[in-house]
Amino acid sequence: MTTRPTIGLPRSPRRSRGAALLIAMALLVLVSTLAAGMVWQQNRAIQVEAAERARTQSAWILNGALDWARLILREDARTGGPTALSEPWATPLAEARLSTFLAADKDNNAEGGPDAFLSGVIFDLQARYNLRNLIEADKIVEAEFLALQKLCEAANAPSDTATRIAEGLRAAWSVAEPQAGATPIAPRTVAQLAWFGIDSVVLDRLENYVVLLPVRTPVNLNTADAEVIVAVSPGLDAGAAQAIVQARTRLAFRTVDAARKYVPSPQLLNTRNVSTQSNYFEVRGKLRLDDRALEERSVVERRGLDVVPILRERVASVMVDR
């Protein structure tokens, strides 16, 4: 019996439809994956662009806050009077919506724009003891070290804090031939004194009393706390310092001589250590833009009618709860 060759039968219609469906589903998954990737990349690019735009806008606005402070300090210098807390520079700029500054009239309030709020404040840095005064000719000045010790006690700092600061600064500012790897980096701010092994919580308290400035400066009697005045005036007691603080609220001291009548002896107020003028200030500008808050700190020096920034740093950038 002869066997007939097998002739290929046509594929079942059901099988063909199943294969086509699998191919279609695979193509759909592939297209969906590619589309999702493209959408994610586009959204990511939009987020990056928005963040960069917000950063640029924030920088410009904070520049405006610094310019506001420089203008006030320049106008204050034109008066030629003492630097005192009764002057316009000492009045903080309360938080205000930027549209209130930009609108030309009540019909132009920029309601469609982002919620941006600006505030600022100026501090007299010569109201604090300048740590630059500690070192002369690579040596720790004994009288200045005693002043720092008093302020460390006022800040409830550990007993070795003054020694750590003085020795660290002496080594950092030494003009002698440095030994390899032995000379620490010179700090520029009080916060950077943490490099000498001082706790940040202690430095936060101490920053109310001390500052780091480029050159030696006296303390301003019109702006300094009583603790600082006592520290830089050997022999002066807390009662006399409080009398100075109370007297200046009635009328700012134009000269150191004007403050001497409130102390037991005129020699207690040395013009090397105290003054009634200030040239160094700290400007803090804070911006709330949508859901972010940014704060910038600037140190400026007043040179005649010029107000020059010598240090700028971003203090904080945080999310705001809504």
Q: What is the pLDDT of residue 298?
A: 93
Whether pLDDT at 102 is above 70: no
Shared-domain flag, residues 250 and 306? no
In a domain, 15, yes or no: no
Mean pLDDT of the chain: 84
Q: What is the pLDDT of residue 14?
A: 65
Q: Average of pLDDT values for 288-317?
A: 86
Shared-domain flag, residues 236 and 153? yes
In a domain, 193, yes or no: yes
Residue tagged 């919580």 (tokens): 201
Shared-domain flag, residues 140 and 167? yes
Residue 177 structural domain = 127-275
Whether pLDDT at 36 is above 90: no
CA distance 157 to 155: 5
Structure tokens at 107: 């019909």
Shared-domain flag, residues 223 and 140? yes
Please give the residue that has the higher pLDDT: either 42 or 8. Answer: 42
Whether pLDDT at 319 is above 60: no
Shared-domain flag, residues 138 and 260? yes
Shared-domain flag, residues 96 and 146? no
Give pTM, 2 decimals: 0.77
Write out pLDDT tens, residues 198-211: 999 999 999 999 99
Please state the separation of Cα 128 from the chain's center in Å: 17
Write out pLDDT tens, residues 142-160: 999 999 999 999 999 999 9
> Do residues 252 and 274 make contact, with C-beta atoms less than 8 angstroms apart?
no
Whether pLDDT at 111 is above 60: no
In a domain, 224, yes or no: yes
Residue 297, domain CATH: 3.30.1300.30
3-state secondary structure the chain: CCCCCCCCCCCCHHHHHHHHHHHHHHHHHHHHHHHHHHHHHHHHHHHHHHHHHHHHHHHHHHHHHHHHHHHHHHHHHHHCCCCCCCCHHHCCEEEEEHHHHHCCCCCCCCCCCCCEEEEEEEEEHHHCEEHHHHEECCEECHHHHHHHHHHHHHCCCCCCHHHHHHHHHHHHCCCCCCCCCCCCCCCCCCHHHHHHCCCHHHHHHHCCCEECCCCCCCEECCCCCHHHHHHHCCCCCHHHHHHHHHHHHHCCCCCHHHHHCCCCCHHHCCCCCEECCCCEEEEEEEEEECCEEEEEEEEEEEECCEEEEEEEEEEEEEECCC
Shared-domain flag, residues 303 and 285? yes
CA distances from 137 to 130, 132, 171, 283, 286 (A): 17, 12, 12, 32, 40
Shared-domain flag, residues 156 and 259? yes
Q: What is the pLDDT of residue 104?
A: 47
* Position 318 confidence tier, pLDDT thresholds 50, 70, 90: low
- Flag the least confident range among 25-39, 101-115, 163-177: 101-115
Write out pLDDT tens, residues 160-199: 999 999 999 999 998 665 555 556 788 999 999 999 999 9
In a domain, 38, yes or no: no
Residues 6 or more apart whose CB falls under 8 angstroms from that of 278 comprise 83, 124, 125, 126, 127, 220, 223, 302
Q: What is the pLDDT of residue 68?
A: 84
State the total domains in the chain: 2
In a domain, 155, yes or no: yes
Whether pLDDT at 291 is above 50: yes
CA distance 219 to 152: 17
